[in-house]
């Protein structure tokens, strides 16, 4: 198929157009959910309850069940959005909970366990510059990664129009000194956090990637223990890194979006467990105690 060289200002329309085409072709399978909002401390969590996971499970019962299966080499042409950089392509998320959820995938195989590179942040910045978005990375299976091939992810903001903030966790992100890595007392798990004085996303490509990479490395260094596996979240305004101790809590798999304040549960029983336990306590079970 024709490969669309990435042109600034075109990515959002390309994602929307490719999503519509993939839906017509029966190549993409949005996972319908209903939204519930749970207040815990000063954060209103978005909890999505899945209506039906049968199609996703059926698809994974095929070759994807093999530990060697790689959906990105080769990727399905129907998922292709754009060549976002010389080293990365932008693809649709085949099983999306969030509408217009996109993946930023390395062309050549790199492991999801590897540290992020300048090229990774260059591709991420190019994508996030195109529309209000949350970028995130699940570093390893324990952090919620479902594929071994390195891929970052971006979802449009706000995550829920009903909330007063674009990312639900933001009321707990303290007004720290700009560009100084540290932590937020309101978050009860080990993490590194930095609030940007001026958004790196708005810088020219080379400078944007360098500043994001520097912030990422600073967060790794402020942690008192090795960070891998971990979740990384990034907006235009801030970056958050959370080391992980486990993938599951009460049988629920949690990835980076959980630490953004957006949880996904499979049924009403799991929703009731989140209500009983509390979202903050659930996240504490898959992370490490705050210092």
pLDDT in tens, 48-59: 999 865 544 445
Nearest 10 degrees: CA dihedral of 276, 280, 285, 289?
-140
The packing angle between helices 205-222 and 118-128, to 10°, is: 120
Does the structure show a pLDDT above 60 at 62? no
Average pLDDT, the chain: 92
**What domains lie within the chain, and their CATH numbers?**
11-285 (3.30.428.70)
pLDDT in tens, 272-283: 999 999 999 999
Q: How many CB atoms lie within 10 A of CB 175?
A: 7
pLDDT in tens, 95-140: 999 999 999 999 999 999 999 999 999 999 999 999 999 999 999 9
The two beta strands, 262-265 and 43-50, are parallel
* pTM reported for the whole predicted model: 0.94
Does the structure show a pLDDT above 50 at 67? yes
> Distance between CA atoms of 107 and 135, rounded to whole angstroms?
19
CA 167 to chain centre: 12
Which residues partner with 83 through β-bridges? 5, 89
- Of 176, 187, 244, the C-alpha closest to 215 is 176
């Amino acid at each position: 198929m024709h490969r669309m060289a990435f042109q600034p200002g075109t990515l959002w329309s390309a994602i929307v157009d490719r999503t519509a085409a993939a839906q017509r072709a029966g190549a993409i399978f949005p996972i319908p959910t209903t939204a519930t909002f749970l207040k815990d401390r000063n954060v209103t969590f978005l909890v999505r309850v899945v209506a039906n996971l049968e199609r996703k499970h059926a698809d994974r019962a095929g070759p994807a069940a093999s530990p060697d299966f790689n959906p990105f080499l080769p990727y399905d042409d129907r998922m292709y959005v754009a060549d976002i950089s010389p080293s990365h392509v932008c693809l649709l998320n085949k099983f999306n909970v969030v509408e217009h959820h996109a993946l930023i995938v390395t062309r050549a195989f790199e492991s999801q366990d590897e540290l992020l590179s300048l090229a990774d942040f260059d591709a991420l910045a190019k994508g996030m510059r195109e529309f209000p978005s949350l970028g995130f990375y699940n570093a390893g299976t324990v952090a919620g990664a479902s594929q071994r091939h390195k891929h970052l992810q971006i979802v449009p903001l706000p995550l829920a129009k009903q909330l007063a903030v674009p990312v639900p966790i933001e009321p707990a992100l303290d007004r720290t000194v700009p560009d100084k890595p540290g932590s937020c007392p309101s978050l009860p798990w080990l993490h590194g956090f930095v609030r940007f004085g001026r958004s790196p996303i708005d810088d020219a490509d080379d400078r944007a990637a360098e500043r994001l990479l520097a912030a990422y490395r600073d967060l790794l260094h402020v942690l008192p223990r090795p960070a891998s596996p971990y979740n990384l979240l990034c907006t235009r305004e801030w970056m958050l890194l959370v080391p992980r101790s486990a993938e599951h809590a009460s049988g629920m798999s949690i990835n980076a979006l959980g630490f953004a304040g957006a949880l996904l549960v499979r049924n009403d029983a799991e929703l009731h467990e989140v209500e009983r336990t509390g979202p903050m306590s659930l996240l504490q079970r898959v992370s490490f105690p705050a210092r």
